Amino acid sequence: MASPSSPVSGAGAPGVEWRTDSAPVDYPAALRDMEERAAAILTGEAVERVWLLEHPPLYTAGTSADPAELIDPRFPVHDAGRGGRYTYHGPGQRIGYLNIDLRDRGRDVRNFVHHLEGWMIDALDELGIAARRAEGRIGIWTDDLDGREAKIGALGIRVRRWVTLHGFSINVDPDLSHFGGIVPCGLAEYPVTSIAALGKPASMTALDAALERHFPSFLNRLGRCSAGLEQCGGGS
């Protein structure tokens, strides 16, 4: 399949496959795998899935990518087919690809994104990082050691017939200089940070465990937004 490593399935939530790959996964292969899984979910041939992985160094271009923001294409550049602009992926960054069926989970894309952010924030909070949303800016933010607002997590999704593709990234201990080849998500005025750069233990295993613990709460919130985000479980 997409990786030579043996994927490990975790608990996650009942009826949802939780897969973790230990070796870097080729980006085009991951896209094909996601597409195939989404199609199989639609026909009832597969269950929903959370897929945690890393990629070799690369840049992805979302549907709103501005070529002027590709400053130094030192790594391969791939069209992602998701929303958003340019993003870096590489070793030391946790990628989470989500094939979630929204047909019975509210059919509300805005709600899904809102609670995806909340899930990431909850997991980082468990690791001692005070992460947050920022008004008017997509992604997950915190303060770096110099007190600057910095981005620690990104997200971009695509929804096809109410099944989601793509997902999120959280910077555990990547080479932050690799972000210098692009304007990350089109936000030149803000730095990028990581769990390691904040002086916290940079454990991919600990982050994965926190994500898994908070995943059932994330799923449970997805059908609650028909009356507006303010009625969807507060800030998370």
Cα–Cα distance measured from residue 161 to residue 136, given in angstroms and rounded to the nearest whole number = 27
Q: 127 - beta bridge partners? A: none
Cα–Cα distance measured from residue 92 to residue 204, given in angstroms and rounded to the nearest whole number = 8
Strands 149-160 and 137-143, how do they pair? antiparallel
CB 99 within 8 A of CB 38: yes
What Cα–Cα distance (Å) separates residue 207 from each residue in 56, 68, 133, 200?
19, 34, 19, 11
Largest Cα span, the chain? 50
Residue 225 is a catalytic residue = no
Selected catalytic residue, list 185, 195, 197, 210? 185
For 185, counting Cβ atoms within 10 Å of its Cβ (0-12 exposed, 13-18 middle, 19+ buried), the class is: buried
Active-site annotation, residues: 185
